[in-house]
Amino acid sequence: MKKLMAAALGLTVAIASTTAWAQRAERNVDPPVVRSLNWFGYVGGDDIRAACRPGERSRVRLVYNALWEEQVRTYELFLQPDGTAGLNMGVLVDQSASTTVSSIFIGSLGDATAPWRMRKGQRLLPAPETADLMGLLQASAAFGPPRDGLRLPDNDFWWTVASCRNGVWGFQAYHYPTDRFATVRFAEKLFALDNVGIAVNRPRNLEPAELRRDPINLRPGRGDRADRWTLVVGKDGLRPR
């Protein structure tokens, strides 16, 4: 019993410290067990929004969902007062049906979190390169507002951008193959800067997402699979799940 309570306390402390940890420019995204519990909030930039106020560091978080079960790429841009920026990168690959956003077994963290460990990369961007990237984001309307009601299924290609610039919150989303996805100007720049060493899973034409769900798990009374999910965009961010 004491061991169980200690484990629960340790997990609580880890979750409570996640926001402050993620704000450090030299850090990548949350530890695996925390990420599994907070993935949707991470994509929506909940921690960025909560801390967004005048005087706080400006930052941008981009998530490229290249089919959840195949590849997810994340980019964290920490803007510095001198015009430079720290860029943290992470790549998740092969997120199979057995690795869902809610399937972490606390009793065997060592094995359960293995598929969730991101391949990581970091760069320090000089001022001209930072300005170039920010210009491409601006040209892509990356700071909002998003299209209210846009749906982002896990088994589609899409981008989200959560940002805080000079104390102003912003959010944007792009779903392939809609016209808004075609307006993305920052993708190739980020891919060129990416030093993780894993090839980018490029968008490709697919059947509509609902036709690629597992029919065995969509029988009446069974509902959708635990590893299938859809995010819905609101007026200034993701809608609560």
- Residues 6+ away with beta carbon under 8 Å from 211: none
pLDDT classification of 6: cutoffs 50, 70, 90:
very low
Query: Who wins on pLDDT, 60 or 94?
Result: 60
pLDDT value of position 140: 98
91-95, 105-109, 145-149, 219-223: least confident range: 105-109
The stretch 174-199 carries a mean pLDDT of 95
Dump pLDDT digits (tens) for 86-131.
Answer: 999 999 887 654 455 554 332 233 333 444 567 899 999 999 999 9
Residue indicated by tokens 């930052």: 59
> Is the pLDDT score of 23 beyond 50?
no
Q: How many whole angstroms separate alpha carbon 85 and alpha carbon 178?
A: 31
Reference 77, options 165, 3, 148, 196; nearest CA is 165
Q: What is the pLDDT of residue 240?
A: 87
Q: Residue 146's pLDDT is what?
A: 97
The yes-or-no verdict on residue 150 having pLDDT over 50 is yes
In the prediction, which pLDDT does 107 show? 29
| Domain boundaries of the chain, sorted by first residue | 2-232
Average pLDDT, the chain: 78
CB atoms within 10 A of CB 154: 20
Q: Taking residues 204-217, what's their average pLDDT?
A: 66
* Residue 58 pLDDT greater than 50, yes or no: yes
| pLDDT (0 to 100) of residue 51 | 95
Whole-prediction pTM: 0.76
In SS3 terms, the chain reads as CHHHHHHHHHHHHHHHCHHHHHCCCCCCCCCHHHHHHHHHHHHHCHHHHHCCCCCCCCEEEEEEEECCCCEEEEEEEEECCCCCEEEEEEEEECCCCCCCCCCCCHHHHHHHCHHHCCEEEEEEECHHHHHHHHHHHHHCCCCCCCCCCCEEECCCEEEEEEEEECCEEEEEEEECCCHHHHCCCCHHHHHHHCCCCCCCCCCCCCCCHHHHCCHHHHCCCCCCCCCCCEEEECCCCECCC
Q: What is the pLDDT of residue 209?
A: 67
- How high is the pLDDT of residue 50? 95
Instruction: Report the pLDDT value the prediction gives residue 39, as an integer from 0 to 100.
Output: 82
| pLDDT for the residue numbered 118 | 78
